Structure 1
Amino acid sequence: MPKAYVYTRHGGPETEAFADVDRPVPGPGELLVAVRAAGVNPVDWKLRGGFRRPGEGDARFPEVLGSEAAGVVEEVGEGVSGFAVGDAVFGNTSGGAFAQYALLTASVTAHKPAALSFADAATLPVAAATAYDGVRQLDLPEGATLLVTGAGGGVGAAALQIARAWGLRVVGVASEAKKDFVELLGAVHVPSGPGLAERVRAAAPEGVDAVYDLVGGEVLAEAAGLLGDRTRLITAGAAPDTVAALGGSRVERARTAAVLDEVAELVVGGELDPFVSRTFPLDEAGLALRAVEDGHARGKIVIEVSA
């Protein structure tokens, strides 16, 4: 039976385990994919802890971990067009990604360009697409200044690069340990921690035109105070009511194959580097998740699955 890395109940890492699972069967609008790589994201451990996405039902244990994958199509579900067995694809999973086989939602799946590795492709559906959606939502004019909090993580690193590709000046808030990384991405680095607003004002004395928050909490509140127009405040790091109280909004996710095509082209064109900092085999999926959960990962962590 195929192997998968699952969580058996809500809680911490102690709920995780390997399990032999039935090979998934694609339903209408789905693709069955032999996984070659799976991206690891903070949402993975948050779901394990009990977080549920809006409109998502209760967990049905054991739940396979992972939200994004790249691989090769094995079966095509009813009503799906544009895909065939043997196609190399990447997209959002509908049943977990840390496994030998995964179901991908066809409407949020794209063909993998030949010049794009499976490992890089597997990082795009969650982090890069979220970054893309947020920068596009802000719709800033060329030359404007964008402040990104949590700039050293997967979404933040992608947001800095996409903003730069679109002609924006970027200021990235991250730990001192990630200073060189943020500057490598073409951003002005501002250390995180108390007194953030003062340091941002010193780094960008002309002010910032928008904030893309990936942290929430006090960081979001302090960053909001830097804006005259709070409609230019968006977050993927706080709840809708929290950011609404500050005058901002959540990132509006497009969740389309077209966005995946566009971020893939940015990678192929050299404007976006997923910065896969480390890969783990499926047998070490737990270690891969710990690398993200401890909050110190730079760029993206990927699980690779043998063919």
Structure 2
Amino acid sequence: MPKAYVYTRHGGPETESFADVDRPSPGPGELLIAVRAAGVNPVDWKLRGGLRRPGAAEPVFPVVLGSEAAGVVEELGAGVTGFAVGDEVFGNTAGGAFAEHALLPATVTAHKPAALSFTDAATLPVAAATAYDGVRQLDLPEGATLLITGAGGGVGAAAVQIARAWGLRVVGLASEAKKEFVESLGAVHVPSGPGLAERVRAAAPEGVDGVYDLVGGEVLAEAAGLLADPAKLITAGAAPETVAALGGARVERARTAAVLDEVAELVVGGELDPHVSRTFPLDRADEALRAVEDGHTRGKIVIEVAG
């Protein structure tokens, strides 16, 4: 039976375990893939902890961890068109990614370009697509200045590069330990911590035209005060009601194959580097998730599954 990394109830790392699971069967509109790589994201441990996505059904335990994967199509569900067995694809998962097999909804699955590795492709459906959606939502004119909080993480690093590719000046808020990394992405680094607004003003004396928040809390509130137009504040790090009270909004996720195609082309074209900092085999999925949950990861962590 295929191996998977699961959680058996809501809670902390103690709820996780390796398990032998049945090979899933694709339902209507789904693809079954043999997983070659799976991206690891903060949302994975947050879901384990009890986070519920809007409209999501009550989980049936054990739940396979992971939200994004790349692999090879093995079976098509009813009504799926545009894909064939043997195609190399990547996308958001319908039932977990830290496994030898995964189900992908066809609507959020894209063909993997030959020039794109499985490892890099597995990082795109969550982090890079979220970054892309947010920068596009802000719709800042070329030459504008964008402040990105949490610029050293998976979404932040992608957002910096996408914004730079679209002609924006970027100020990246991140820890001092990530200064060199953030600057290598093309951003002006500002250290995180109390008093960030003063440091941002020093780095961008002409002001900032937009804020893409990936942290929430006090960081979001202080960053919001830097904007002349509160509508140019978006967050993927705080609840809708929190950012709405500041005049901003949550990132509106497109969740389409077209966005995946576009971020893949940015990687192939050299404008976006997923910056995979570490990879782990499936039998060390627990270590991969801890590396992300600890909150000090630079770039992306990926689980690689042998073919």
Distance (whole Å) between structure 2 residues aligned to residue 224 and residue 234 of structure 1 = 9
Q: Which residue of 2 aligns with 1:135?
A: 135
Matched, 1:59 2:59: yes
Query: Which secondary structure does the structure 1 equivalent of 2:263 belong to?
Result: helix
Q: Residues 1-41 of structure 1: CA distance to partner in whole angstroms, max 9, x if unpaired?
A: 01100000000000000011110000001000000000000
Q: Which residue of 2 aligns with 1:259?
A: 259
Matched, 1:113 2:113: yes
Code of the residue aligned with 2:205 in structure 1: it is P
Q: Which residue of 2 aligns with 1:99?
A: 99
Q: Which residue of 2 aligns with 1:200?
A: 200
Q: Residues 192-213 of structure 1: CA distance to partner in whole angstroms, max 9, x if unpaired?
A: 0000000000000000000000
Q: Residues 232-281 of structure 1: CA distance to partner in whole angstroms, max 9, x if unpaired?
A: 00000000000000000000000000000000000000000000000000
Distance (whole Å) between structure 2 residues aligned to residue 55 and residue 180 of structure 1 = 40
Q: Which residue of 2 aligns with 1:234?
A: 234
Q: Which residue of 2 aligns with 1:294?
A: 294
- When the two chains are superposed, the root-mean-square deviation of aligned CA atoms in Å is 0.3
Matched, 1:20 2:20: yes
Code of the residue aligned with 2:166 in structure 1: it is W
| TM superposition shift of 1:118 | 0.1
Query: Which secondary structure does the structure 1 equivalent of 2:146 belong to?
Result: strand
Residue identity (%): 87
Matched, 1:10 2:22: no
Q: Which residue of 2 aligns with 1:180?
A: 180
Query: Which secondary structure does the structure 2 equivalent of 1:95 belong to?
Result: coil
Query: Which secondary structure does the structure 2 equivalent of 1:35 belong to?
Result: strand
Distance (whole Å) between structure 2 residues aligned to residue 141 and residue 245 of structure 1 = 25
Query: Which secondary structure does the structure 2 equivalent of 1:180 belong to?
Result: helix
Distance (whole Å) between structure 1 residues aligned to residue 271 and residue 216 of structure 2 = 28
Query: Which secondary structure does the structure 2 equivalent of 1:107 belong to?
Result: helix
| TM superposition shift of 1:59 | 1.3
Aligned structure 1 segments of 4 or more residues deviating by more than 3 angstroms: none
Q: Which residue of 2 aligns with 1:271?
A: 271
Code of the residue aligned with 2:257 in structure 1: it is A
Code of the residue aligned with 1:257 in structure 2: it is A
| TM superposition shift of 1:176 | 0.2
| Unmatched segments (≥5 aa) in structure 1 | none
Distance (whole Å) between structure 2 residues aligned to residue 303 and residue 132 of structure 1 = 23
Distance (whole Å) between structure 1 residues aligned to residue 38 and residue 2 of structure 2 = 16
Distance (whole Å) between structure 2 residues aligned to residue 173 and residue 58 of structure 1 = 36
Code of the residue aligned with 2:4 in structure 1: it is A
Distance (whole Å) between structure 2 residues aligned to residue 17 and residue 176 of structure 1 = 35
| TM superposition shift of 1:228 | 1.1
Query: Which secondary structure does the structure 2 equivalent of 1:60 belong to?
Result: coil
Code of the residue aligned with 1:4 in structure 2: it is A
Q: Residues 170-192 of structure 1: CA distance to partner in whole angstroms, max 9, x if unpaired?
A: 00000000000000000000000
Code of the residue aligned with 1:269 in structure 2: it is G
Code of the residue aligned with 1:179 in structure 2: it is K
| Unmatched segments (≥5 aa) in structure 2 | none
Code of the residue aligned with 1:57 in structure 2: it is A
Aligned pairs for 1:154-193 (under 5 A) are: 154-193=154-193
Distance (whole Å) between structure 1 residues aligned to residue 35 and residue 193 of structure 2 = 39
